[in-house]
Amino acid sequence: MAIKVHHLRVGRSVFTVWLLEELGVEYELEIYDRNEMGRAPDSLKKAHPLGKSPVIEADGMTIAETTAIAMYLAENHDPNGVFTPPTEPAERAQWLQTLMYPEGSAFVPLLLKLLLSREAEPKPMLISMFTQAEVDLHLGFIRDRLGDKPYILGDALSLPDIGMSYICSMANNLELLGDYPTLKAYAERCMARPAFQRAAEKTGG
């Protein structure tokens, strides 16, 4: 039975579809459009009570949360072991931290930046100052972790790149990468992969 992906247009679930394309796994899409407020429609709550995306149906289960979905797919639908977590304890700990970092720490400052961009001037000063400091902190951290490597953990695409490239892509869309050329190049490199291009075409972004 094919995996079913509940995809909300203009959202992070395109990165879940990208992972499936990289894995070469059969899947089907159910696509939702945002409402006039930019939020998910109520119909998405039929897939999961939170009405968020991505959500997948796989192996008789409904699975939400981007990182949980990524881990499940890597551990259960990766026949060639390309995205399988390492087993050596220190390497695995580093891998897991990098995998969970995008949604655990990096996303909220960018979300605040996005919301502030929609606020009229003058912006709330305290929130603006806090947000900018956090954005600078995280983009600097990612820049230093990436270094001159093509991907976040080395020469080859790994599972943590799925979430990390989402953060860099979001920052790029918010025009925050002017001082971070290596992060801009990293995002563009990931988005140029044939599997991502297929995902973007199928989902409509």
Question: What pLDDT sits at residue 37?
Answer: 81
Question: What pLDDT sits at residue 10?
Answer: 85
Q: CATH 3.40.30.10: does it fit domain 3-83+195-203?
A: yes
Q: pLDDT for 92-103, tens place per residue?
A: 999 999 999 999
Q: CA distances (Å), 151 to each of 132, 140, 159, in order?
A: 25, 16, 10
Question: What pLDDT sits at residue 2?
Answer: 87
Question: What pLDDT sits at residue 204?
Answer: 86
Q: How far apart are CA 170 and CA 107, in angstroms?
A: 9
Q: pLDDT for 182-193, tens place per residue?
A: 999 999 999 999
The CATH class, in words, for 89-193 is mainly alpha
Domains of the chain: which residue ranges?
3-83+195-203, 89-193
Question: What pLDDT sits at residue 38?
Answer: 80
DSSP string over 103-135:
IIIIHHHHHHHHHHHTSPSSP-HHHHHHHHHHH
pLDDT tens for the 205 residues of the chain, in order = 689 999 999 889 999 999 999 999 999 999 999 988 888 999 999 999 999 999 999 999 999 999 999 999 999 999 889 999 999 999 999 999 999 999 999 999 999 999 999 999 999 999 999 999 999 999 999 999 999 999 999 999 999 999 999 999 999 999 999 999 999 999 999 999 999 999 999 998 6
